[in-house]
Structure 1
Amino acid sequence: MSDPRAVYARWAALYDRLASLPVVRSWRARAVDALDLSAGETVVEMGCGTGANVPALRRRVGPAGRVVGVDLTPEMLRRARGHADRTGNGVSYLLGDAARPPVDDVDAVLATFVAGIFSDPAAAVDAWCDCAAPGGRVALLNFQRSANPLATPVNVAFEGFVRLSAPGARLSRRSHADAFERRVATARDRLTERTVDRRYETFAGGYLGLVSGRVE
């Protein structure tokens, strides 16, 4: 099995370009909106990659707030620090495992497109909820196969997409995508168990699911 860090380091440049596409930015903006952020708050992004969500998060918390990105891949963080709109006062990046976040007592937690890569997604979500202060909101955005009957051809291609985008997610010899979606479902279920004021929505033709909740 490939080391995910090596895979993400190798594809960091392409990932950075794809994450910055206008349509992808619109998806990420919806995830940021789900956090209900206020000026002056601290928000942490788990598995921040190249920091594509940071500008939107920074606008929500304002100059008095703080945005922290956590990622396991040095190359991803190096690219994040290379963007002027993803650095500066109030923005910091931490090299670390998002499943064991080196943060505590934060106002909000965001995880986009990462829940499916953890071998124990429930434990990762527990860690994210544990590091949020009471009343803090946690949001997960993930790809999924669409239930739309017209989406069958694209759903077939989803297998290859997951193999490229989620190294190490394979749990069976039959389907990488099935394993990925089981992990995402586990993460969503645990977030549902750990939070109140929950919201769930799908968009992009049903290929994206966004779930959020508030920690008590």
Structure 2
Amino acid sequence: MTDARSFYGRWARVYDWLASAPGVASWRDRAADALALRPGDTVVEMGCGTGANVSLLRERVGPSGRVVGVDVTREMLDRARERPARTGETIHYVQADAARPPVREVDAVLATFVAGIFEDPAAAVDAWCDSVAPGGRVALLNFQRSPSALAAPLNLAFEGFVRLSAPGTRLSRRSHASAFERRVRVARERLTERTVDRRYETLAGGYLGLLSGTVV
């Protein structure tokens, strides 16, 4: 996690630009919808980065709800706090390891583009599900290769993304992509085991997978 903290700390501003790029907002909107939030709910985003999802979550929980962003990288959180749309009395940022979140009995957890970076993604998903009160929802949004026969050139871009998402490792390009995909698969399998009323959809021509479920 130290390598990831250093990497994302250096690239916080670039990350913020990519996280807010045109088209990305619609994916994040679908992920927020998957949580079925209600006014007054408390929702936690694990690995919140620069807070790109925060305003979407705040809209759904309203002024009586709370949004908590958890991230291990101080520079990411500092960047989030610089954006007026991502701050307020009902928004709280916590510097902590998202795999061991210091929260309990919340109504929902969102994790976008982070499941593939954890050494033990199953343990991370377990921690997220344990943080949610029974009946609450957890949603995972992740990049993946597209199965389309026309997608081969863009799958190279996916491999480039994976290399940036696995800072500090010394693997071949193929090893990066395989390890990333394995971790995402493990995270999804564990969420499937821990939840009911599951929903899965693909976005962006198959390059994104959104899985959500209700904790029992």
Show the counterpart of 1:73.
Answer: 73
Segment drifting more, 170-179 vs 109-118: 170-179
SS in 2 for 1:190: helix
Q: Deviations over 1:56-109 (max 9, x none)?
A: 000000000000000000000000000001001110000000000000000000
- Counterpart check, 1:87 vs 2:87: yes
Task: Give the aligned CA root-mean-square deviation in angstroms.
Answer: 1.6
SS where residue 102 of structure 1 aligns?
coil
* TM superposition score normalised by structure 1: 0.96
Deviation at 1:130, TM superposition (A): 0.2
Residue 50 of structure 2 aligns to a residue whose secondary structure is coil
- How far off its partner does 1:168 sit? 4.8
Partner deviation per Cα, 1:22-69 (whole Å, 9 max, x = no partner): 311111010000000000000000000000000000000000000000
| Rounded Cα–Cα distance in structure 1 between residues aligned with 2:165 and 2:72 | 15
Instruction: Give CA deviations for 1:113-144 in whole Å, capped at 9, x if unaligned.
Output: 00000000000000000010000100000000
1: CA distance between counterparts of 2:50 and 2:173?
A: 31
Q: Give the deviation of 1:157 after TM superposition.
A: 3.0
Aligned residue pairs total 216
Instruction: Judge conservation of contact 1:118–1:169 (CA < 8 Å) in 2.
Output: no
Q: Secondary structure at the match of 1:202?
A: strand
Matched ranges for 1:37-186 at <5 A? 37-168=37-168, 174-186=174-186
Match of 2:204 in 1: 204
CA contact (8 A) 2:163 2:173 kept: no
Determine if contact 1:101/1:128 at 8 Å carries over to the other structure.
yes
Partner of 1:194: 194
The match for 1:13 is 13
Q: What letter is aligned with 2:103?
A: V
Percent sequence identity over aligned pairs: 75
Instruction: Report runs of 4+ in structure 1 exceeding 6 Å deviation.
Output: 169-173
Aligned residue for 2:23, secondary structure, equals helix
Residues 131, 169 of structure 1: CA spacing in aligned structure 2 closer, same or farther, 3 A cutoff?
Answer: farther
Q: Separation in 2 of the partners of 1:33 and 1:168?
A: 34
How far does residue 173 in structure 1 lie from its aligned partner after superposition?
A: 7.7
CA distance in 1, matches of 2:198, 2:166: 26
Deviation at 1:203, TM superposition (A): 1.0
Alignment gaps of 5+ in structure 2: none
TM-score by length of 2: 0.96
Whether contact under 8 Å (1:119, 1:169) holds in the other structure is no
* C-alpha distance in 2 between matches for 1:145 and 1:169: 21
Q: 2:124 is aligned with what amino acid?
A: A
